[in-house]
Amino acid sequence: MGFFRALKSLVSPKAMAEETIDAQFKTFRHFAMEYPDSEPHELLAHVLLARWQARGVDVSKPGILDKSMIDTMPFACLPVPTCIRALGLYVLYKEQPSVIELCPEYGVEYEVLMRPVHEAIKNGTVNELHAQQNPRTADSGQ
């Protein structure tokens, strides 16, 4: 991040929000290049693990990969790049809830992006929605 972008993100909640979201896109692209045969859900889980690790979480602990898969499951039901944006908004909410309060459009955007997932959960078709984006995982029964 450049010096002026870093400075701007300190004084502008909107700039901070976009930096946080953009970081998830960059990390996703990195893992997509490193693991080209991975499905979106696997990549999203690695993005979240990387974020946790950057925040001081010991990602080598037993069960942490499973937790990242569980936590990213709703986002993995959305197509790329929507799933990455939704994960970025989730990370923003978890790490900087005050930014969501100052810029409520991010909360509204999250609700709009996640609406199909919430509807699929409600009507019992979330596994089918997930399988559309992650067919290999669905075929293997995971």
In a domain, 7, yes or no: no
* SS3 category, 6: helix
In a domain, 94, yes or no: yes
- Check: CB of residue 26 under 8 Å from CB of residue 88: no
In a domain, 110, yes or no: yes
One-character DSSP codes across 15-68: HHHHHHHHHHHHHHHHHHHHSTT--HHHHHHHHHHHHHHHTT--TTSTTHHHHH
In a domain, 3, yes or no: no
In a domain, 98, yes or no: yes
Q: Give 67-118 pLDDT, tens digit per residue.
A: 999 999 999 999 999 999 999 999 999 999 999 999 999 999 999 999 999 9
In a domain, 6, yes or no: no
In a domain, 2, yes or no: no
pTM of the predicted protein model = 0.89
In a domain, 4, yes or no: no
Range of the domain at 103: 12-140
Number of domains in the chain: 1
Q: Give 33-63 pLDDT, tens digit per residue.
A: 999 999 999 999 999 999 999 999 999 999 9
